[in-house]
Amino acid sequence: MKELIELEFVLPVSPKLLYHLISTEEGLSKWFADRVIILNQNISFYWSKQRIDAKILAQKENKFVKYAWLEDIENKNNCYFEIAIHSTNENSTTIKITDFSDPEEKNENIILWNTHIDKLKRAIGINHS
């Protein structure tokens, strides 16, 4: 059974910019996957030669996008990953990642999300040391 992962990161950007980066082909291609194709509620993520398909389960402008891998839908395990945006004040926004992972892959998936967020920071021009 998969375990819940929740991660939070504070970024000095507007919710509107962050929403664009988590909900559009152009935005997701800058940090999450090499290439992204969205057709209605279906989304394909490409990493080098690998393609993984997902569905957009729900979304609310400037608030969140909830995705499920097709494999998880087919297995009826109710797993998903959600990227939520919480405006903390005028100068910063919190991005909260909710995901599910096999217990033996949990640490690897946390590292992967941290790597994705580092790419997101670079995409929005945030320097980090």
Flag whether 128 is in a domain: no
**Average of per-residue pLDDT values in the chain:** 93
pLDDT in tens, 19-69: 999 999 999 999 999 999 999 999 999 999 899 999 999 999 999 999 999
Q: What is the per-residue pLDDT for 126?
A: 84
Q: Are 123 and 116 in contact (CB under 8 A)?
A: no
Flag whether 19 is in a domain: yes
Count of the separate structural domains present in the chain = 1
Is residue 129 pLDDT above 90, yes or no? Answer: no
Which of 106, 65, 110, 56 has its CA nearest to residue 83? 65
Integer Cα distance of 48 and 16 in angstroms:
29
Strands in 3-11's sheet, in edge-to-edge order, are: 3-11, 92-101, 81-89, 64-69, 50-60, 42-47, 35-39
The continuous run of DSSP H or E covering 21 comes out as helix 15-23
Flag whether 116 is in a domain: yes
Label residue 81 by pLDDT band (50, 70, 90).
Answer: very high
The boundaries of the domain holding residue 34 are 3-123
Is residue 127 pLDDT above 80, yes or no? Answer: no
Q: What is the per-residue pLDDT for 87?
A: 86
Flag whether 25 is in a domain: yes
Q: What is the per-residue pLDDT for 128?
A: 59
Flag whether 46 is in a domain: yes
Flag whether 129 is in a domain: no
Flag whether 9 is in a domain: yes
Say which CATH number the domain at 32 has: 3.30.530.20
Flag whether 83 is in a domain: yes
